[in-house]
Amino acid sequence: MSSIPFKLFGNTGHNSRRTLFGAAALGGVTQAETDQTMELLIQHGINHIDTAASYGESETRLGPWMARMRGDFFLASKTGERSYAAARDQIRRSLERLQTDHLDLIQLHNLVDEAEWEQAFGEDGALRAAIEAREEGLVRFIGVTGHGLMAPVMHKRSLERFNFDSVLLPYNFPLYQNPTYAANFEALVTLCVERNVAVQTIKSLTRRPWAEEGHHFAATWYEPLTEQSDIDSAVAWVLGDPRVFLNTTGDIHVLPKVWIVAERFESRPCDETMRALVARQDMAPLFT
């Protein structure tokens, strides 16, 4: 039986494993590889899947599994559309691809650009489509996600405008050394704790941005750590923050190493250990 700890996912009532399955990892793999990954996921007791309409074939790959095991998972997807009509259509297409009649969580995807934020929150924006889907029973909860240095600032602004149930943003040791990002992250998470909003984190295994020639062939859009001892430290550093969840890596071959760490997690590595890792692997922030 898995020893990965549980944590209530904000105000949803769902008791999620603290390592959520980031199904971007299924975007470019075969159904056979998906099936192997899902079997491993079940072995580790993972009960929360996070995908998106824009993750290649991820939703389609998950569909056969959701058709027969829907009740075993908290299922989240995302829409990157900003207008009401486009978001409305995309949410329904996600339901078709995932072979389900409802999502547990729909998220406004990467909502950090000012103009896109204004459109999504407008009268004819994507948020209206998400709220409508919730009213119709097609989704249960609504969240927002973001990449880049502005994600915590924009998420806090989003929470001041609407009662989102979850946020998602980057979090790792090198990025947290940016004092502005760290301060904004803490301000956001403090608000989330006060409101019981779930905080999902991504990019835990970022080693550095890809060299341009490697990016096009990669399962992840950052160069990840791959050695188990390094992954141990990076994952434990995130899990050492009891306020957050960790969304797993986008590479199905690295993925099992994350669950190994999560199952034997005890405490957060000290800053000295993390600084040594940064130096040894020549790590660099993905966003600057």
| Residue among 187, 29, 202 at smallest CA distance from 109 | 202
DSSP string of 207-232, one letter each residue: EEPPPHHHHTT-SSSSEEP-SHHHHH
Write down the residue that tokens 């997690």 correspond to.
Answer: 265
Contact 46, 262 (CB under 8 A): no
Give long-range contacts, CB 8 A cutoff, 24+ apart: 277-280: 277/173, 277/230, 277/233, 277/234, 278/173, 278/174, 280/230
**What's the rounded Cα separation, in Å, for the pair 41 and 44?**
5
Helix H or strand E segment including 171: none
Sign of CA dihedral 144, 45, 174, 223: negative
Other CB atoms closer than 10 Å to residue 67's CB: what's the count? 11
The answer for 106, left when phi > 0, alpha when psi is -120 to 50, beta otherwise, is beta
pLDDT of residue 158: 98
Q: What share of the chain is helix, strand, coil (3-state, %, to 5)?
A: 45, 20, 35
Q: Which of 130, 122, 129 is nearest to 105 (CA)?
A: 130
pTM of the model: 0.96
| pLDDT tens per residue across span 185-241 | 999 999 999 999 999 999 999 999 887 655 544 567 788 999 999 999 999 999 999
Report the Cα–Cα distance between both ends of the chain, in Å, rounded.
Answer: 41
Which amino acid, residue 8?
Answer: L
Q: What is the CA radius of gyration of the chain?
A: 18
CA dist., res. 63 & res. 69, Å (int): 10
Number of Cβ within 10 Å of residue 190's Cβ equals 12
In one-letter notation, the amino acid at residue 156 is K
Q: What is the pLDDT of residue 222?
A: 83
Residue ranges per structural domain of the chain: 6-280
Pairing mode, if any, of strands 74-79 and 244-247?
unpaired
- 165 phi, psi to nearest 5 deg: -90, -15
Residue 13: per-residue pLDDT = 97
One digit per residue, pLDDT tens: the chain, 288 residues?
678 999 999 999 999 999 999 999 999 999 999 999 999 999 999 999 999 999 999 999 999 999 999 999 999 999 999 999 999 999 999 999 999 999 999 999 999 999 999 999 999 999 999 999 999 999 999 999 999 999 999 999 999 999 999 999 999 999 999 999 999 999 999 999 999 999 999 999 999 988 765 554 456 778 899 999 999 999 999 999 999 999 999 899 999 999 999 999 999 999 999 999 999 999 999 888
User: Which class is 6-280 in CATH?
Assistant: alpha beta
Question: Which residues have C-beta within 8 Å of that of residue 270, sequence separation ≥ 6?
Answer: none
